[in-house]
Every structure is written in structure tokens, then in C-alpha cells.
Amino acid sequence: MFRAFPICPVKINVNSCEFENTITEINQANASIYNSTFTNSSVKTDFLGSSGITDKITQITGCNFSGYTVSNYAVYIESYPNYKIENCIMDNTYRGVLVFNSGDGKGPNILYNNQIINQNMEGVAIYNSEANFARNFISNNRHGIKILDNSNVSLKGNSNVLEQEIRDNDLNEIYVTEGSFPHYIRYNGIIDEDNEDPLIYYSTNEEIAQLDVRYNYWGVNFDPVTDLYPTNYYIYDPQWNPGEEGNGSSAEAMYDSAKDKIEQGDYTGAKEDFQQIITQYPETKYAQASLKELLNLEKYAGDDFNSLKSYFSSEPNIQSYPELEKLADFLANFCEIKLENYPTAIDWFENVIQNPESLEDSIFAIIDLGYTYFLMENGGYKSSYVGNMPQHKPISKKQFTENRDYLLSLLPGDKMGKTLKENIGQLKGGELLQNVPNPFKGTTQIWYKLENESNIQLNIYSYTGQLIKSIDEGNKTKGTHFFEFDASGLNNGIYFYTISINNQTTDSKKMTIMK
């Protein structure tokens, strides 16, 4: 394993090298990797703990990756303000690219002209990051692109020639969670002629959505009823061929103007434009993208995260649109992180975990909570602080990444997560869901549903009926909830768990611990 941990700001260049059975890991530096070959090997660049530095970039250009990697991903970028992945080939590396909590600088934050094929899992995953896709070929993976946790993404093809394709992936070509739908998705080939799963799967609880996917090529067997999920959320063209250029909206023009102003250094003007989009076009995805831009822009345009937090919490146009209000609440909590108000941020994530609106919300809150602990400790805050859910404070980075990848596998876009969501939807009031996973080692999730606000207690029993643990969940709201049970210290075997609602036992299930 090659690692670089520079003490002072430096630039690390890797050019025309060959790597085999190794991880190239670079931390806290400008990193440029060119024209190199990685066999059963991967690149990991990490800038965690240096959020005040905004000009650092990691660039991976002209590299070939093949064979399964020790770290699961061919390329893994974490916490970098700026990044560029271009002219690379990734073939059968288990997972292609993960961009995690990155892209909050001035750019380019681009994946350009890459061929990402034959991955056992996703070709590209974008998590709470900015990403711009152009001229990529992403094919024959489990998922093509996964866009998660309020990421800010554009997929820009060429109106004259089909030069970006996401096609023939096993499940979805593009899988997106609520708050992350690309503000720009045009002139792409999004194709799978024989797949039973949707080409685009948007996992959302939004009541109204305007998802403009016009001017994309769908192949010859396109059926919006089966290929776009949920079908009634989309504005689409049944047929589009390269050469036909679509007209952009006024919101798009204003957004592009604001991005140009950032490149020119006019940060105040860009900030005003983004706020105007939110005022004039709150129903568009450009309004959501503008909210995310405001968070990233603030360090250049005043560095007053208290005022930005107040804007997110009180702007009338935000409060009038539920999808904007929810996103702004999320971003306001990241203002707390920027202000190093870590206990407040941790409490916010814990509240989402206890009262999630969706399965995705709970998964992302657990991941973001663990990541916040790393930010807190790397930022010099007293590492002894722990919130009310100590089980979510990672013991190590390795444990955090393994748990994160497991949690992401539960998302509805995967077969396991899709089954879980369907089963949750079939729960009746007072019922327990079979714990997930089962059998299990380490931790498992116990889901239950309430018809009314109630006081909840969960009990774990041995096979002989001995009470092992009593969990007081306290007062919980109407809806679905889950508890993450940690089996550390328990022997292998069969156990039972029950739920008591207002002191009345209503259901029980069996679970199996295997180590």
C-alpha cells in the first residue's frame, strides 16, 4: 500500500506508474495521478479535517483500472473541495467511483470521458457531493449512477451527437434519492432494451415533482410507465434524436449566469442570483440546486454561516415549498457543522434517526452522524463528546466505511432494500418487521409501525425466555420507526424480540445471531 500524508500543503504527482494488489492513498494534498495502470488496485484521496482550505484538488487522468480491488472502489474521493476524473477506464473492479462529501469548492468537480463497465455493484456513486458528468460511457454495472443524500448533479451530453451513455446496467441506469435529482439531465443516452427495472428510479416522498428529462435518448423500446419511476413525476419526450436542441428555462439561464460569476470571482453577485432563483422559481430543481450552491458559496461570499442558517430557516419562499423546506433544514444543520456547533448537529441527526420520514432519511442520518464525529475530532473539538446514540459513533474509519456500505445496500434501488421498503409498507399498526439483516452479526435493524403516538418498549429474550435487554424507546410519533440493536457480547443462537405499546405487548419475532 502506498500512502502519502503530507504535513504541509504540497502537490503529489504520480505519472506512468504500474500498481498491483495495492491501495494508493493520498491525504491532505493536491493529488495528480496520470497515465497509470492499476491491477487489483485502487486510488483513495482524502482531505477530511481541512474544511477551511478550498483550493485543493485531486485529479485522476488517463488511468486504467482492472480487477477487484482491496477497497471495493477503483477510485474513492472523500472530502476534497475540487476533483477531476477524466479519460479513465474502469473494468470489473467491483465498484467504480465513489465521491463522498466532496465538490464544495469552485470546481470543476467533473467526471469526463470515462469508461466505467462491468462493475459488480454501481458504476458511480455520488454522496452529498457536487458532480458534473460529460462524455462518459457507464454500462453493464449493477447500477449505472447512484445519486444520494442531497447531492448536486448535472448530466450534460451533446445535443448534436450521442457522446454520453448510461446503458444496459442490471438494475437502474440512474438511481436518485429525494433532494438529489439532477437539475440538468439532457442529451444523454439512457438505454436498456430488455431490463425490467426502471431506467430512472427516483426514491422520493415528495407529493409534487417536476423532473424534466426531455431531450434524452431512451432507445427503441421506451415505455414511460415502466422506465420512469414514479411515472407521473416526469416531463419527458417519448423520442429524441441527436441534432434536436432543447430550449433551457429562465431558471436554468440564471443558474448558469451565477456559476459564471463564481468563475469570475463575483461571489456576491452569484449569491444574489441563487437567492433570486429561489424567490422566482421555487418549484424547479434549480431552486434546490441553488440552496446547495449557497452553502458551498458562503465561505467566499461573506463567511457568515449564522446568517445563512437564518436564511435557510426563515425565507418565506423556502417555507412555502415542502421539498425546499426539508432540504434547507438539512443544509442549516450543515451550517452548524461549519460553525463547529457539533453537539447541535449531532442532536439534529439523532432526531432524524429516531423520527425518519423515510428509510433513506434514517440511513443517511446514521452515515452523516458518523462522519460528523470524524469532522469534530479532526477539527480539534473534544473527542470525548458523545450524543444520545453512542452506537453510531464510529470506532474506526474502517468500521465506518464498512457500515456505510452496508447501510447503502439497504436503499430501495437495490433488491435487498426494495424488498425491505415493500415489507415496511405492508406493516400494520403494532406489528414488528422481521429484523434486517437476519441472521446477522454486529447490528440489526428492528422496524415497527404505530397507528398513533405511543410509548414504546422493546425487549430482547434468550431462547429460554430470559430477558437479555430492555430498550425504552420513549414516546414515538405515528408512523414507522426502527431501532438498531447491537448484539456485541451475545453468544450465537436464536433470540426473541417483542414490542410493547403503552405497556401492552402487541407482537414478537425471532432473530438469529451468527458470528
Indicate the helix (H) or strand (E) that contains 203.
Answer: strand 200-203
pLDDT at position 324 = 94
Q: How far is 402 from 394, CA to CA, in rounded Å?
A: 11
CB 86 within 8 A of CB 111: yes
Quick one: which of 293, 212, 202 has its CA closest to 246? 212
Indicate the helix (H) or strand (E) that contains 462.
Answer: strand 454-462
Angle at which helix 359-378 crosses helix 397-408, to 10 degrees, equals 160
Three-state SS at 440: strand
Q: How many Cα neighbours within 13 Å face the side chain of 49?
A: 13
Which region holds residue 425: left if phi is over 0, alpha if psi is between -120 and 50, else beta?
A: alpha
Angle at which helix 359-378 crosses helix 415-426, to 10 degrees, equals 120
Q: What is the DSSP secondary-structure string of 463-500?
A: TTS-EEEEEEEEEE-SEEEEEEEE-TTPPSEEEEEEEE
Q: How far is 150 from 277, CA to CA, in rounded Å?
A: 18
Q: How far is 285 from 152, CA to CA, in rounded Å?
A: 10
CATH classification code of 427-513: 2.60.40.4070
Quick one: which of 423, 431, 434 has its CA closest to 449? 431
Alpha helices in 380-491 (DSSP H): 397-408, 415-426
Indicate the helix (H) or strand (E) that contains 144.
Answer: strand 143-148
CA–centroid distance for 131 within its chain = 12
What are the residue boundaries of the structural domains of the chain, listed by start?
2-235, 427-513
Q: How far is 185 from 52, CA to CA, in rounded Å?
A: 31
Q: pLDDT below 70 — which residues of the chain?
A: 1-10, 49-54, 69-71, 207-209, 379-383, 413-419, 421, 514-515
What residues contact residue 432 under an 8 Å CB cut-off, 6+ apart? 446, 447, 448, 497, 498, 499, 507, 508, 509
pLDDT at position 8 = 40
- Identify whether 6 is preceded by a cis peptide bond (ω within 30 of 0): no
- CA distance readout (Å), 147 to 125, 133, 411, 455: 6, 12, 12, 36
End-to-end CA distance of the chain, in Å?
29
pLDDT at position 6 = 41
What residues contact residue 50 under an 8 Å CB cut-off, 6+ apart? 28, 56, 79
